[in-house]
């Protein structure tokens, strides 16, 4: 019904008018900003902070690789020391297929959890957001696809990203996938923004160079698209430009010298800033194309950047918003 009404509106007033109106709404929409803990050891400090909220049991959502590497140990030890019970669900794979979300919801309900910790890359964090929203609304994950499809807010969600790319710890979106249709599905709701997050560079020092590069380009994509789009504000422009500069300065260092904690921390902050920028200013063609590639081949957004941004050149009258001018100015 809503889709038909929206289609009729677009046909009657034009897509550009609808997009401008959506941009105005986005500028006015109150979007929560998580309390951030930044620096080496911040994941353990997040665990200590979670203890203060008196949760009876926390569902920790992650992937098998993160679980096997033991990256969660400082956080889990902090939870245990503080007397907070937890259960680990570590079955999330890239792009978080719907079936895995359903399993996560089942564990959440069976264990009577009252909070969620997302620990991992963008897929784990997006899966945690979706599990929380689906459990709160007694809905199948596919029924939440779109904007504000749940009536109830999820339980408190905390996040610990282990890559510097998606910025999902600060965004209103969760991206999952439907393997049957080879599609990526986007769920958007301001209430799924985590209430607290930790950017711990020690968790990222072991990332392979190719993962560091791809996730870093994902963050760069977010920043550039947020900056050159039509929904940006002075606030999002500042965040986007800051992110671009930090990425150009620190991604080559993190790629070659993976154990450089300063570069890793700067990249984590850049991804965070880019996430804040695009969650209000929106993204563009790179994501439109990358979602199609990702649905079929699980291609990271960052790998679609070089093939798409050359078509993103603005009108000659707007040289200051040309992404290549941005890049050259900041290199």
229-262 pLDDT per residue, tens: 888 999 999 999 999 999 999 999 999 999 999 9
pLDDT per position as a tens digit, 57-73: 999 999 999 999 999 99
Is the predicted pLDDT of residue 169 greater than 80, yes or no?
yes
Burial class (CB in 10 A: 0-12, 13-18, 19+), 111: middle
What's residue 326's pLDDT?
45
More confident residue, 330 or 121: 121
- Is there a contact between 170 and 190 (Cβ–Cβ < 8 Å)? no
Res. 273 pLDDT band, cuts 50 70 90: very high
Tokens representing residue 257 in the block: 């010298």
Mean pLDDT of 304-325: 56
What's residue 26's pLDDT?
60
Res. 288 pLDDT band, cuts 50 70 90: confident
Mean pLDDT of 277-291: 84
- How much of the chain, in percent, has pLDDT values that exceed 70? 82
What's residue 283's pLDDT?
85
More confident residue, 236 or 325: 236
Burial class (CB in 10 A: 0-12, 13-18, 19+), 89: buried
Q: Measure the CA–CA gap between 253 and 261, rounded to whole angstroms.
A: 10
Mean pLDDT of 283-297: 76
What's residue 292's pLDDT?
76
Tell which residue, 184, 163, 158, has the closest CA to residue 66.
Answer: 163
* pTM, entire model: 0.88
Tokens representing residue 186 in the block: 């986007």
Q: What is the DSSP letter of 176?
A: E
Tokens representing residue 28 in the block: 């006015």
Mean pLDDT of 122-138: 98
Is the predicted pLDDT of residue 194 greater than 60, yes or no?
yes
Is the predicted pLDDT of residue 181 greater than 70, yes or no?
yes
Q: Phi and psi (nearest 5°) for 61?
A: -105, 125
Q: Measure the CA–CA gap between 262 and 216, rounded to whole angstroms.
A: 15
pLDDT per position as a tens digit, 21-54: 555 566 667 899 999 999 999 999 999 999 999 9
Beta bridge partners of 38: 199
The architecture CATH gives domain 35-203: 3-Layer(aba) Sandwich (3.40)
What's residue 230's pLDDT?
84
pLDDT per position as a tens digit, 7-22: 444 455 444 554 555 5
CA dist 88 → 57, 81, 209 (Å): 11, 16, 28
Mean pLDDT of 90-104: 96
What's residue 13's pLDDT?
46
Non-local CB neighbours of 267 within 8 Å, separated by 6+ positions: 164, 204, 212, 216, 219, 246, 247, 250, 251, 254
Q: Measure the CA–CA gap between 267 and 215, rounded to whole angstroms.
A: 10
Tell which residue, 6, 29, 24, 23, has the closest CA to residue 191.
Answer: 29
Structural domain boundaries in the chain = 35-203, 209-328
Q: Which residue has the tokens 């769920």?
A: 187
What's residue 6's pLDDT?
44
The architecture CATH gives domain 209-328: Up-down Bundle (1.20)
More confident residue, 163 or 296: 163
What's residue 10's pLDDT?
41
Is the predicted pLDDT of residue 214 greater than 70, yes or no?
yes
């Amino acid at each position: 019904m809503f889709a038909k009404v929206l289609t009729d509106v677009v046909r009657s007033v034009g897509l550009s008018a609808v997009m401008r109106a959506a941009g105005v709404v986005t500028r006015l929409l109150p979007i929560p900003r998580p309390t951030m803990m930044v620096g080496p050891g911040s994941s353990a400090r997040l665990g200590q902070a979670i203890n203060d909220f008196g949760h009876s049991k926390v569902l920790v959502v992650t992937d098998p690789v993160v679980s096997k590497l033991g990256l969660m140990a400082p956080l889990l030890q902090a939870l245990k020391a503080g007397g907070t019970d937890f259960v680990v669900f570590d079955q999330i794979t890239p792009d978080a297929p719907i079936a895995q979300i359903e399993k996560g919801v089942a564990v959440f309900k069976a264990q009577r959890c009252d909070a969620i910790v997302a620990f991992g890359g963008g897929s784990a964090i997006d899966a945690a957001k979706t599990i929380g929203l689906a459990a709160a609304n007694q809905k199948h994950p596919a029924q939440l696809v779109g904007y504000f499809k749940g009536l109830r807010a999820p339980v408190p969600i905390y996040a610990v990203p282990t890559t510097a790319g998606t910025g999902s710890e600060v965004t209103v979106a969760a991206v999952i996938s439907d393997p049957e249709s080879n599609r990526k599905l986007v769920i958007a709701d301001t209430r799924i923004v985590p209430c607290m997050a930790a950017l711990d560079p020690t968790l990222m020092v072991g990332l392979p160079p190719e993962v560091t590069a791809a996730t870093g380009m994902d963050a760069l994509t977010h920043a550039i698209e947020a900056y050159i789009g039509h929904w940006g504000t002075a606030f999002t422009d500042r965040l986007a430009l800051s992110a671009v500069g930090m990425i150009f300065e620190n991604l080559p260092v993190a790629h070659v010298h993976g154990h450089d904690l300063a570069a890793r921390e700067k990249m984590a902050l850049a991804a965070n800033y880019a996430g804040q920028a695009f969650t209000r200013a929106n993204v563009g063609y790179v994501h439109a194309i990358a979602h199609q590639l990702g649905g079929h081949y699980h291609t990271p957004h960052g790998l679609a950047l070089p093939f798409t941004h050359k078509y993103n050149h603005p009108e000659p009258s707007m040289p200051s918003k040309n992404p290549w001018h941005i890049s050259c100015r900041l290199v």
